[in-house]
Each structure stands twice: as C-alpha cells, then as structure tokens.
Homo-oligomer: A and B are copies of this chain.
C-alpha cells in the first residue's frame, strides 16, 4: 500500500482578502468551522495565520490562542502556525504564536530559510532573523516545516543544521509560483526533491492556478500537498472555492486518483516525525 498523503490546508494567509473571496474565514469560529470541514474532507493539518476582527493580517498570540482553542474544540486536525506573518512585520511580531505553550502550543511551525521577492514586495528573512526564529521554534519543542521559495533555501537548511539550529532529515515545503520568484514546472519539483537532505519529507504548495495541478504532481511523486485560500481562491477556472474544505476535497479526490489515501492527523504526525 502506498504512503498516505498529508494534505495541509493553508486556510487564511496574510494576503487574501474578503474582497477577493467572501469565503475567507477570519474569526476563530469561522476558522474552526472550516478547519473541521477540512479535516472531514481529508486534511491532516491546517497551516494557520490569523486576522484581526476587521480582516487585517496579525501574528498576535491571543488571536492564535483563540483560533487554536476553537479548532481543537471541533477537530483533531494538526495545527501548524506561520512565522512568516505579513511583509513588514518585526521578528517579535512574527513569533507571536511561538509564545503559546502547554495545551495551546501548536503542533508545528513554519520557518522560511531565505529572502525572496514576493510580488512587488520583499519577504524579508535575513540569516540572523532565520536563526532567531529557528531557536524560538526549538525552544518550545516544535519541529519546523522549512518553507523554500527557491532551490538555495534547501542549501540553507543544511547550513542551519550545521549550526545546530534544525535537525536533518527535516520536513520541507516547496512554495512554487509566487510572482517574482521560482515558478512551477514538473522538472523544478523533481530537482528540488533530488536536492533534499537524505530522508527528508516534502510538501508542495502551488500558488494560484498551479495549486491543484501540483497536488497531482506531488501525489505521483510520493509527496504531500498544501492547498487553501491562502494560495488560491478558485476550485476551477473562475469558480470560487466555497471554503478551504472544498479545495481539500478536490485535493483528496486527486490523491485517491493516484492511489494515495489522505493521511489522518495521527498518520501525519508519524510521517512528519512530530512529537
């Protein structure tokens, strides 16, 4: 039997607006309801950003606490908090969710290992900041998902491991298709996989129109996939997804078409070596 596929729902993000889609969840309750439906549809994990009540991106610990509690009241889906936040945030702002410990602690946190253009702006991750976030993730006992927007960011994971800041093998997320940086091609995905440290696991997050196509590419190659309104709002050309759950359902359908069952949270915990 083939390895189950971990589907992660990137539910909220920092860029998508209610003007673009009325289906973007914003409050803790909206996020929790959509998360529960994502879990039913086949998601093992949610990638979590939060918003202020008026929809602005935030990394505020109390907003994360509320969302995490609301999600956990409804479902056992794993919760991965972003440390990317939004362009322009300080490191302390970005690390809000890493102050949550005990029963509010997330299950995983992201760590972006380099700086890239992000549309017209710059997603600012200089080395000192990356090391700082890596230390904070480690300090609360979490394992990072290493977000790579280009090939060199995989090399940087090796460097961080040499510095003792991350453990290898690790779990990687290839974010492909952000305007201004690496664009998806099947050969790009193959090359990134071939460039990974031995024994590592990976997820691919295709942005925009590439999202669902790269669920297929990931499924074929034994990898995992991220879908959701953070990266793409359409379930098919011009048709808005009615919630994150609908993108997850479509991803699960595609995974099964390639002989892959969506992983449960417990399977994902084992596959991604989460404690």
Q: What is A's interface to B at a CB cutoff of 8 Å?
A: 114-117, 119-122, 124-128, 149-152, 155-156, 159, 179-183, 187-188, 191, 194-195
Contacts and interface: CB of A to CB of B under 8 A. Distances in A.
B126 A182 contact: no
B183 A152 contact: yes
25 contacts: A114-B116, A115-B122, A116-B152, A117-B125, A119-B127, A120-B126, A120-B127, A120-B128, A121-B126, A122-B124, A127-B180, A149-B152, A150-B150, A151-B188, A151-B191, A152-B180, A155-B181, A155-B182, A155-B183, A156-B180, A156-B181, A187-B191, A187-B195, A188-B195, A191-B191
Contacts of A125: 117
A61 B83 CA distance: 42
A159 B119 CA distance: 12
Q: Which 7 A-B pairs have the closest CB atoms?
A: A152-B182, A152-B181, A150-B150, A155-B183, A150-B152, A151-B151, A115-B117
A125 B121 CA distance: 10
A152 B181 CA distance: 5
A122 B156 CA distance: 14
